[in-house]
Amino acid sequence: QKTSVQRCLCKGEVNMVRVQRIEKIEVYPASPSCDNVEIVVTLKNGAGQKCLNPESNFAKNYIKRAIKKR
Amino acid sequence: QKTSVQRCLCKGEVNMVRVQRIEKIEVYPASPSCDNVEIVVTLKNGAGQKCLNPESNFAKNYIKRAIKKR
């Protein structure tokens, strides 16, 4: 069984981020280097980044709503 | 009526990107600098970036599916 070297970005994940603090969301589909989806949220005002649990309701609802708003 | 200076990232948008070519998806929520959501897809192998129409079925379905896959 080929043991693939995993280079996932996220170590720990939060289940929620206050929407007003979000500057950008990056979604990394599963890939050879990391076999699960990863979501990295960049916070406003240089407050850094957080990994968001893709399974969290927040991730599912917020991202869906974000791409609907026009 | 305050004319806000808009600095949106995207000029033209595509409605679809081949999934295998996607390295990363960036979702920029509406903000003071751009009052609509913008989605920037980074393609693999340094093939550059494309703006994806947030209203496209592909955007809605693919991003939802991407965050579900674990």
* Closest Cβ–Cβ partner in A29, A59, A67 for B22: A29
Q: Which residue has the higher pLDDT, A31 or A1?
A: A31
Given pLDDT bands bounded at 50, 70 and 90, which one contains residue A68?
Answer: confident
Phi/psi for A49 (5° steps) reads -130, 155
Half-sphere exposure of A66 (CA within 13 A, CB side): 24
Q: Which residue has the higher pLDDT, A20 or A68?
A: A20
Question: Which residues are CB-neighbours of B31 under 8 A, at least 6 positions away?
Answer: A23
* Closest Cβ–Cβ partner in B54, B64, B67 for A39: B67
What is the per-residue pLDDT across A15-49, written as a single tens digit (0 to 9) for each? 999 999 999 999 999 988 898 999 999 999 999 99
Taking all residues of chain B, what is their mean pLDDT, rounded to a whole number? 88
**From A23-32, B40-49, B61-70, the region with the lowest mean pLDDT:** B61-70
Domain regions of chain B by residue span? 19-68
Residue B27 and residue A55: Cβ atoms within 8 Å? Answer: no
Q: Closest residue of B to A24, CA-based? A: B28
What is the per-residue pLDDT across B6-28, written as a single tens digit (0 to 9) for each? 789 998 899 999 999 999 999 99
Chain B residues in contact with A23 by the CB 8 A cut-off are 28, 31
Residue B60 and residue A66: Cβ atoms within 8 Å? Answer: no
Q: So what CATH class is A19-68?
A: mainly beta
Question: Which residues are CB-neighbours of B61 under 8 A, at least 6 positions away?
Answer: none
Q: Is the pLDDT of residue B42 over 70?
A: yes
Chain A residues in contact with B30 by the CB 8 A cut-off are 69
Interface test with A, best of B24, B26, B27, B58 (most A CBs within 10 A): B27
B31: which DSSP letter? Answer: B
